[in-house]
Structure 1
Amino acid sequence: MTRIVHHPILGSLNNRQKFSFVFNGQELEAYENETIAAALLANGIRTLRHHEESGSPRGFYCNIGHCMECRLTVNEQANVRACLTTVKPNMAVQSGKQHPNIVKRMVEENE
């Protein structure tokens, strides 16, 4: 697990409450005021979902809320951006689901 434990502006992690949350059924550690993205990265999680068409693994890209690559399901709410959402104690987080490609399915059905 890798984290910045002291930052000149944000301060020290030692002053923050540590708690657990669940990602894909696995209990992980986080600190108060940490984003889901930061907590997952610190716990070695790099793949968040799979691309809708190719099925290739997707992870963090911009980490500032623009690209939507970090979409996850949080407490049963789909398409939550991990980079903008603060992790909470006992939060249930799941990988983003690979949604079916509707256009591709329609083309295949009409062939």
Structure 2
Amino acid sequence: MAREHTGLERGPVLVVMIDGTPLDVRPDTTVAAALVSRYGVRGTRRSVSGQPRAALCGMGVCQECRVSVDERAHVLACQTICRDGMIIRTEVSTS
């Protein structure tokens, strides 16, 4: 899936799947950054009271950015670098 980008930003891009939708990202992109690129700041999961939760600290301490990556649950999005073909799933439905 990796390919050369043909837009203004030259260089290789990777393709990740976020909640079933493909997204082109640069090779050094964190999953948290890819999620913001895809959805903006809307959260990645819901708290026990139903509130959306999103990356807060950006260094893995708060664990609010947990997502499923390649069917592995509770992966910290802020600490995970995107790989080509990665499948990312959030708990918050798209709107």
Structure 1 length normalisation: TM-score?
Answer: 0.67
Partners in 1 of 2:87 and 2:79 — Cα distance? Answer: 16
Amino acid at match of 1:81: L
Larger Rg: 1
Q: Aligned residue for 1:58?
A: 53
SS of 2:23's partner is strand
Give identity over the alignment, percent. Answer: 31
Q: 3-state DSSP class of the match of 1:78?
A: strand
1:78 equivalent in alignment to 2:77: no
Instruction: In structure 1, list runs of 5 or more residues that go unmatched.
Output: 1-12, 98-111
- Distance (whole Å) between structure 2 residues aligned to residue 36 and residue 71 of structure 1: 10
- Mark the runs of 5 or more structure 2 residues left unpaired by the alignment: 1-8
Post-superposition offset of 1:73: 0.4
- Write out the 4+ residue segments of structure 1 that deviate beyond 3 Å after TM superposition: none
In structure 1, how many angstroms separate the alpha carbons of the residues matched to 2:50 and 2:59? 24
- Cα RMSD between the aligned structures? 1.7
Deviation at 1:44, TM superposition (A): 3.2
Q: Which has the higher contact order (CA 8 A, sep 6+)?
A: 2
The answer to whether residue 41 in structure 2 is matched with residue 49 in structure 1 is no
Contact 1:71 1:96 in 2 (8 A): no
Amino acid of the residue matched to residue 49 of structure 1?
R
The total of aligned residue pairs comes to: 83
